[in-house]
Structure 1
Amino acid sequence: MIVPGSSSQSLAAALASELDRPLAPVEFERFPDGELLAATPEVETGSAVIVASTTTSDAHLELLQLQDALRESGVSEITTVLPYMGYARQDSAFEPGQPVSVRAVARAVSTGTDRVLTVSPHEESVLEHFSVPAEAVDGAGVLADPLPELTDPVFLSPDAGAIGIAETVRESYGEGEVDYFEKVRHSGSEVEITPSDVAVDGRDVVIADDIVATGSTMSGAIAALEAPRRVFVTCVHPMLAANARTKLARAGVERVYGTDTIERAESEVSVAPALAEAIRSR
């Protein structure tokens, strides 16, 4: 049985199809005082897979309620799939008195599940905070699928930390160079981007990253390029908060491609097959 969170209904349906498992009925309600209620009426006992991206604080609470509802209904084994794990980038106490937010979130999620899968977390070290078995699933393997035919392509990551994603996209596409930008963060809002040494004049550029949130870093990287033919952005998690899509369009991005870990108009490819393989492998 596949149980969808409200933010991951399309991905949950795709995963149910991949695994040939039923999609559970779910109900979501908000009371006049603002409190949430996520319920799973008429669920089967046995095992269940919850699919819920925690893109908001409400989504986190909703996930905990779904876990508890399944336990209350007698489900004996729960796998929690976090296609996108919120707070995963808050993996340190950056100032005295601050929490390690991802640790707090992982502890809460662990109480209601037997296993956790999450897709391409910013740092795999976040998995260490769960008290149940936790595994990362690579979502970058499908990012090349929607790309058009490219001219002498260059695959770039916004920093050295994401070079593996650019390499994966390049390998899936089948040709092209790979490089990355040097990024120096001077403050929470000030980032310096140094251009890559690869010449991009007249060439198609694909910038690959795990997540595009505000679009500021990506737009800065694009501004550092000299005379590319076309620019595409591909990412596992298309958060695209606030005016991020407009920033990218103004920077000259022709198309943005993402997966369905966060369901957006730019979610061109699905991580359902990769998740299904991970679930079957147990």
Structure 2
Amino acid sequence: MDTIIFALPGNEELTTKLIYKLDAEKGEAVIRHFPDGETYVRVSSDVKDKRVVLVCTLNSPDDKILPLYFLSKTVKDLGAGSVCLIAPYLSYMRQDKRFNTGEGITSAYFGRLVSGFADTLITIDPHLHRIASLSEIYYIPTQIMHAAQSISDWIRKNITKPVLVGPDSESEQWVAQVARDAGAPFVVLEKTRHGDRDVKVSIPHVEAYTDYTPVLVDDIISTATTMVRTVAQLRGVGMKAPICIGIHGIFADNAYEELLEAGAKEVVTTNAITHKSNRIDISDLLAQGYQHLLRDQPIM
């Protein structure tokens, strides 16, 4: 069965890389909005009996989910053999419990929604906190790929004498792996969060690393509140200008600019979400994930 790959709007560059790496056909479709805001979808490629791959990273998901749903349903109606969603960033993972009375558990609802129109799912480092596995909320085969090695490789090639700084105790195992593979020491912050932008950060003793370049690493850079405060504190104790690295660069509001203004030397992200900070390519990881799904040999 042949593979044909469609890019949802904004995912064209990553999709082009995947088409090349997977020796796949480029899917042609029109997705636009009528004057009243409703979504229009038209598929011009032949998808009958083909493996269809839809590439759509899911930051700002509310604007993307309906066009994605319509495109998936359309190719199924046109005879596609299967539909795989490649969503490098998977949204709605944080609300995984009812924190306050009356709240919805939106991670579970979103998982059911996606499972209703995609046959398989590939993503990069989803925010698994209280959820041990995506299979708890997704009812389709899923493949999680990990960017730690790609980040380690970039650090090793681009930074002399790095010391990695993890955002909190929950990140310690992941940061330790990146540091080990990069051949660098690491420290972990003590963080207390009282709200989306109300975060208190304390830095462990860093006197031994004053001649190192601090590298702040996190899975998601959203408001960047923790990173901004950490950058300022590191600069305040005489550390070199830090480099901030995130797998998923959401950059809510002016987070990217605020990091640079706080004293970061550079902000680096993977191309899981398209942004001018993209330096680390994860297309190989996604291609590997798709090939493993085809062989039904998921990477744990």
Give the alignment's TM-score, normalised by structure 1: 0.93
User: Structure 2 residue aligned with 1:228, among 235, 239, 246?
Assistant: 239
Relative to structure 1, the CA distance from residue 252 to residue 115 in structure 2 (aligned partners, 3 Å threshold; closer, same or farther) is same
CA-CA distance at 1:219 after TM superposition: 0.6
CA–CA separation in structure 1 for the residues paired with 2:10 and 2:158: 32
CA-CA distance at 1:166 after TM superposition: 2.4
Cα deviation 1:76-108 (Å, max 9, x = unaligned): 111111111121122222211111111111111
Quick check: 63-72 or 125-134, which moved more? 125-134
1:128-277 equivalences in 2 (<5 Å): 128-147=136-155, 149-173=158-182, 175-199=183-207, 200-225=209-234, 226-277=237-288
CA–CA separation in structure 1 for the residues paired with 2:41 and 2:181: 39
Identity of aligned residues (%): 25
Between the two proteins, the alignment pairs up a number of residues equal to 281
2:58 corresponds to which residue?
Answer: 54
CA–CA separation in structure 2 for the residues paired with 1:165 and 1:257: 17
What letter matches 1:49 in structure 2? Answer: V
Cα deviation 1:200-227 (Å, max 9, x = unaligned): 3232011111010111111112223221
CA–CA separation in structure 2 for the residues paired with 1:13 and 1:161: 35
Relative to structure 1, the CA distance from residue 168 to residue 10 in structure 2 (aligned partners, 3 Å threshold; closer, same or farther) is farther
**Secondary structure of the structure 2 residue equivalent to 1:235:** strand
Cα deviation 1:224-258 (Å, max 9, x = unaligned): 32211231011110111210011101111111111
CA–CA separation in structure 1 for the residues paired with 2:79 and 2:110: 24
Q: Does 1:67 align with 2:88?
A: no
CA–CA separation in structure 1 for the residues paired with 2:169 and 2:11: 30
CA-CA distance at 1:146 after TM superposition: 4.1
**Secondary structure of the structure 1 residue equivalent to 2:242:** strand
Q: Does 1:97 align with 2:102?
A: yes
CA-CA distance at 1:48 after TM superposition: 1.2
**Secondary structure of the structure 2 residue equivalent to 1:196:** coil
What letter matches 2:233 in structure 1? Answer: A
CA-CA distance at 1:149 after TM superposition: 4.3
Q: Does 1:25 align with 2:33?
A: no
Quick check: 182-191 or 263-272, which moved more? 182-191
**Secondary structure of the structure 2 residue equivalent to 1:276:** helix
What letter matches 2:58 in structure 1? Answer: T
CA-CA distance at 1:37 after TM superposition: 2.4
Q: Does 1:36 align with 2:45?
A: no
Relative to structure 1, the CA distance from residue 189 to residue 241 in structure 2 (aligned partners, 3 Å threshold; closer, same or farther) is closer
**Secondary structure of the structure 1 residue equivalent to 2:67:** helix
CA–CA separation in structure 1 for the residues paired with 2:100 and 2:223: 23
CA–CA separation in structure 2 for the residues paired with 1:186 and 1:241: 18
- Alpha carbons 1:25, 1:43 under 8 Å: kept: no
Relative to structure 1, the CA distance from residue 13 to residue 213 in structure 2 (aligned partners, 3 Å threshold; closer, same or farther) is same
Cα deviation 1:156-179 (Å, max 9, x = unaligned): 111122234423432443x22012
- Alpha carbons 2:214, 2:240 under 8 Å: kept: yes
2:111 corresponds to which residue?
Answer: 106
Give the alignment's TM-score, normalised by structure 2: 0.88
> Structure 1: any 5+ residue segments left out of the alignment?
none
- Alpha carbons 2:87, 2:122 under 8 Å: kept: yes
Quick check: 177-186 or 123-132, which moved more? 123-132
RMSD of aligned residue pairs (Cα, Å) = 1.8
